Amino acid sequence: MRTMDFLPIFMNIRGQRSLIVGGGEVAARKAALLLQAGAEINLVSPELLGNLKDMHAEGGIHFRQGTFEEGDLEGISLVIAATDDEAVNRRVSELARARRLPVNVVDNPDLCTFIFPSIIDRSPVQIAVSTGGSSPVLARLLRTRLEAAIPSAYGRLAAMVEQFRDEVKTRFSSVNARRKFWEEVLQGKIAELVFSGQDGAAEAELKRAVAEGIERDSGEVYLIGGGPGDPDLLTFRALRLMQQADVIVYDRLISKEVLELTRRDAHRIYVGKERDNHSVPQDQINQLLVDLAKEGKRVCRLKGGDPFVFGRGGEEIETLTANGVHFQVVPGITAALGSSSYAGIPLTHRDYSQAVVFVTGHLKDGSMNLNWKGLAQPNQTIVFYMGLKGLPVICEKLMEHGLPADLPIALVQQATTPRQRVFTGTLGDMPERIASEEVKPPTLIIVGNVVKLHDKLNWYRSELMIEKGEH
C-alpha cells in the first residue's frame, strides 16, 4: 500500500503566534489565510509590498523590518518561509525543524513539515485538497470541481446542525439512532429548505423533528430551468437537484446535452410540448407532477429556459400548491439571454436600444392578438418567443404600426447548442429569406437596431465553439 506523503490534519491556531518570513504577494496570501484562522502574525521582511501594507496598517500583523534572525522563532507555534531567496528559505526551515516547529516553505515540499492544501470553505465545513505539493495546479482544478458540487449553503446547514447536537443526544440515546436521524435531516426536506434560502422554516422543521421524529418525506417537485441548451449554463443548484431526482419530466425544449446530466438511473418521462402537437396536455402534466410526488418521488420538472418566462411554470405550481405538494423553483437562463449572447446581439445598447420587451408569439388560444402599438416603439428591442410560425404576421403588423421595413431582424435557431444558426434580414424581407430554409425549432426572433451588431460581435460564438472543440 502506498504511503501518504503528508498526514491530512486541521490545526487550531486561533490566538497563537505564527511567523511569516517574506514581504511579497505570496506572503500576503498566506497571511490572509492565517488571519482567517484567527492566528496572531509576526512578519519579518526588508519591506512590505501590496496587500501586506494594508494588513499592517489595520493592525492585522506585527511587522519587523529587516532580515530573518533565529530569535524571530521565539514563542512561535507555526512558521512560513515565503521569500524569493532559496538560502533564506532553507535556513528558516532548518532552524524551525530543529525546534520541532511546523514549517512551510512555499513551492518547496522537501523543506516543509506541512503544506497548504487547496481549500473549499463552507465554514464550519472545510474541505482540503492536496497533491502532496507535486501539482498545486491540479489541486486547484480539483477544488474547482468540488466547489461546483457543494452548495455554499452547506456552511449554514452545518451551523444549524451544531445548534441542535445536544438536544439530539438527549432525545436519541444510541449512536445508531442519532446517525439515522442526522442522515434523514441532511438528505431530506430540512436540508433542501436551507439550500433554497428558507433557513427559518428549516430551523422550525428541525426543532419539530427533534421533538416528534422525522416523518418520511412525501415527495417533492423541483421546477428547474434547464437554460437554452448549453449545459455549461446550468446553475450549480439545478445540477445538484437534477442528479438526485428519482423521476425526470421533460419536454422538447430540453437539449440532449442537458438531459444527459440527470441521474442515470432516474425514470425519464417525455411530455412532448411540440407546437400544434402537445403529446401530453398541460393539465395532465400538472396532475402527473402531483401524483408522482404523492408517491414519495423526488420529481425534476425540467423546463427549457426559465420556468417563469413563457414556461408555464406558474400554472404547474398553482396545481402543486392546491394539492399540498412541496416544491422548489430553480431559475434558469431564459432563451432571450442565451440566444442574444451566443449570436452576438446585445439586447440593449446605448446607441441602438434603451429598452427590451419579451413577448410570446403564440397565445393560449392560438391567436397573435398583441399590443402592436406598444411593441412598435423606436429604440426598443423586441424578443418574440415561439414566433416562428407567425413570423410573416409579426413583420407585417410591426410595419403596419409604424416600424420601418428596413429595421433589422434576426431569427436564432437552437441557440447556445452546436446546432445554432442565425438568420438576419429586415422586417420587409425576412419571411422571404427563410422561406427556402429548413428552420428547426426552438427558435427566437429578435427585432431592433441591435441586430446590426451581429456581424461585428458574432466572434464570441465562433471562439466559444473552437474552445469546446465543436465545428
**Where in the sequence numbering do the catalytic residues fall?**
251, 273
Alpha helices by DSSP H, listed for 51-174, are 51-57, 86-98, 136-149, 154-163, 165-171
Q: C-alpha grid cell for residue 220?
A: 417533492
Gap between the Cα atoms of 73 and 82, Å rounded: 15
Q: Which residues pair with 127 in a beta bridge?
A: 120
Would you say 387 and 445 are in contact if contact means Cβ atoms under 8 Å apart?
A: yes
Contact partners, residue 364, CB within 8 Å, separation at least 6 = none
Gap between the Cα atoms of 349 and 68, Å rounded: 57
Rg (the chain; Cα; Å): 29
Sheet containing strand 103-105, strands side by side = 61-65, 40-45, 17-21, 78-81, 103-105
- Backbone dihedral region for residue 22 (phi beyond 0: left; psi -120 to 50: alpha; all else: beta): left
Gap between the Cα atoms of 72 and 63, Å rounded: 11
Strand ranges, E, within 23-134: 40-45, 61-65, 78-81, 103-105, 118-122, 125-129
Collapsing DSSP to helix, strand or coil, 358 comes out as: strand
